[in-house]
């Protein structure tokens, strides 16, 4: 589908509205995900104060010297917790690293679920101990919003409303504060280096807190790049490849990127915080029978979420 801007939906309609409001929200979100794969969400339920406090601690972490940040890069876990250094991740099909560094905060299992054994521990930062608190609170706030967005999608797909609930409870979701670091001399970086090369996300859905600067662009069916510009109190959401596989391409995982600013602004940083909502590793991504037809034959081989994640982490350079 071609489009000129990203539509906005109001999650309050689904959280607190009438049955008619909930149905209308589900239809609007589903149609947007089917056509564009992206939406902007107002009234998502995460407080502006929490977002501000979290951004503050994340920016303080990235301001630390590299030799201190490097202490929090944990070998052997494919970057799934703690720090990942500058330029180490690249888009699928590329070798040039993105102009970014990031920190991963993962699931905290607190109900005795044996799946806890699958997850590495989160990484405390001694220099900024409050990062753990604000990171966890932001993680849970976005997980709550994501749970209800997936319930609306389940309604749209004529699945039970709670279809995704047990699949994402204690799922392998990741909160990723990102620092697109300043470039003082653009001539010293590879000519094809960008903040985030065009790619699709791996997970079910992504919830992105508004970035500190412009740059996010979404590709339409004609190859045109459309800027995603939420208001300060809104978040951007999009379909990931896992949800596209599960729905046999009914919902679209759309290509997007973060472009470099003009050369004269390359010395300025950019921060953003996506939340990648994943299911548990043993959840099947087999295409839903209801999404397969003579007009839409099954497009993907069966696999689990864990198998697919492992494949993709290798493709983007985080797993050997």
Per-residue pLDDT of 193-236, as tens digits, reads 999 999 999 999 999 997 777 899 999 988 999 999 898 889 99
Q: Which of 252, 84, 307, 261 is nearest to 179 (CA)?
A: 84
Alpha carbon 15 to its chain's center? 22
Structure confidence at residue 211 (pLDDT) = 73
DSSP 8-state assignment for residue 100: -
- pLDDT (0 to 100) of residue 231: 87
Judge whether 2 lies within some domain: no
Residue 235 is classified by DSSP as: E
- Coil, helix or strand for 130? helix
Whole-number pLDDT of residue 91: 87
pLDDT of residue 271: 93
181 lies in a domain?
Answer: yes
pLDDT in tens, 162-198: 999 999 999 999 999 999 999 988 988 898 999 999 9
> Is residue 3 domain-resident?
no
Orientation angle between helical segments 130-156 and 19-35, nearest 10 degrees: 90
Residue found under tokens 């492992």: 310
Calpha distance 221→1 (Å, rounded): 5
For residue 156, what pLDDT is reported? 98
- Flag whether 69 is in a domain: yes
254 is written with which tokens?
Answer: 């759309």
Domain range for 210: 8-315
Tell me what pLDDT residue 37 has: 96
- Are 204 and 278 spatial neighbours (Cβ–Cβ below 8 Å)? yes
Cβ–Cβ < 8 Å for 92, 315: yes
Q: CA-to-CA distance for 179 and 198, rounded, in angstroms?
A: 17
> Is there a contact between 251 and 34 (Cβ–Cβ < 8 Å)?
yes
> How high is the pLDDT of residue 93?
87
The residue to which tokens 């070998």 are assigned? 75
Mention every residue, 6+ apart, whose C-beta is less than 8 A from residue 265. Answer: none
The CATH number of the domain holding residue 307 is 2.60.120.330
Distance CA 118, CA 291 (A): 31
**Residue 320 lies inside a defined structural domain of this protein:** no
DSSP state of 28: H
Q: How far apart are CA 90 and CA 96, in angstroms?
A: 6
CA–CA dist 86, 46 (Å, integer): 29
Is 7 in contact with 36 (CB distance < 8 Å)? Answer: yes
| β-strand pairing of 205-209 with 235-239 | antiparallel
Residue stretches of the chain with pLDDT short of 50 = none
279: CB partners within 8 A, 6+ apart: 164, 167, 168, 171, 172, 204, 242, 305
Q: Is-contact 177 273, C-beta < 8 A?
A: yes
Residue 1 covered by a domain: no
Per-residue pLDDT, 188: 86
> For residues 236 and 183, what is the distance between their CA atoms, to the nearest angstrom?
26
- For helices 130-156 and 48-62, what crossing angle results, to 10°? 130
Look at residue 317 in the predicted model and tell me its pLDDT. Answer: 85
Structural domain tally of the chain?
1
């Amino acid at each position: 589908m071609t489009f000129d801007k990203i539509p906005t939906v109001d999650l309050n309609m689904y959280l607190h509205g009438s049955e008619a409001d909930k149905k209308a929200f589900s239809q609007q979100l589903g149609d947007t995900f089917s056509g564009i794969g992206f939406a902007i969400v107002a009234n998502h339920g995460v407080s502006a104060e929490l977002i501000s406090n979290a951004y503050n601690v994340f920016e303080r972490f990235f301001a630390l010297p590299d030799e201190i940040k490097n202490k929090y890069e944990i070998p052997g876990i494919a970057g799934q917790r703690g720090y990942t250094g500058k330029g180490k991740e690249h888009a699928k099909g590329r070798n040039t690293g993105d102009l970014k560094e990031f920190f991963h905060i993962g699931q905290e299992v607190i109900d005795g679920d044996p799946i806890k054994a699958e997850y590495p521990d989160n990484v405390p930062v001694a220099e900024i101990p409050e990062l753990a608190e604000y990171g966890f609170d932001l993680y849970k706030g976005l997980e709550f919003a994501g749970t209800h967005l997936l319930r609306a999608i389940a309604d749209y797909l004529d699945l039970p409303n709670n279809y995704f609930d047990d699949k994402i409870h204690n799922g392998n979701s990741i909160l990723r504060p990102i620092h697109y670091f300043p470039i003082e001399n653009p001539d010293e970086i590879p000519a094809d280096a960008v903040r985030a090369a065009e790619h699709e996300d791996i997970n079910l859905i992504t919830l992105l807190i508004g970035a500190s600067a412009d740059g996010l662009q979404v590709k339409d069916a004609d190859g045109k790049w459309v800027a995603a510009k939420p208001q300060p109190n809104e978040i951007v959401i999009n379909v990931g490849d896992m949800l596209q596989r599960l729905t046999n391409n009914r919902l679209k995982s759309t290509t997007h990127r973060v472009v470099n600013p003009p050369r004269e602004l390359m010395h300025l940083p950019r921060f953003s915080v996506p939340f990648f909502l994943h299911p548990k590793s043993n959840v099947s991504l087999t295409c839903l029978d209801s999404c397969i037809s003579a007009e839409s034959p099954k497009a993907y081989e069966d696999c689990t979420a864990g198998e697919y994640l492992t494949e993709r982490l290798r493709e983007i350079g985080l797993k050997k």
